[in-house]
Amino acid sequence: TIVHILSHLTASRAMQDKVLNNPNIKIIFNSTVTKINGNNNHVTSAIIINQETGQEQELLSRAVFIAIG
């Protein structure tokens, strides 16, 4: 799952196509991660808030990768 703050992807068209055409990748647009939860051994979930609606959701996960730029 990719959590993206914008309403669209900004990577090169080739990279966008790789992500958009991969059925295993879900994109959550207009959202940010506000908290990462864990159990002292590994990540268990991330709290995500939609920047347009303010709706918060918990996304279960065992890892987080952060990319900027």
Greater confidence (27 vs 67) lies with 27
Supply the pTM of this predicted model: 0.87
Going along the chain, which residue ranges are E strands? 2-3, 27-28, 31-38, 43-50, 56-60
What pLDDT score does 69 carry? 73
Closest CA to 42 of 20, 67, 15, 62: 62
Distance of CA 45 to the CA centre of its chain: 11
Given a cut of 80, whether residue 49 has pLDDT beyond it is yes
Q: For residues 9 and 25, what is the distance between their CA atoms, to the nearest angstrom? A: 13
Q: What is the pLDDT of residues 9-45, one digit of tens each?
A: 999 999 999 999 999 999 999 999 999 999 999 999 9
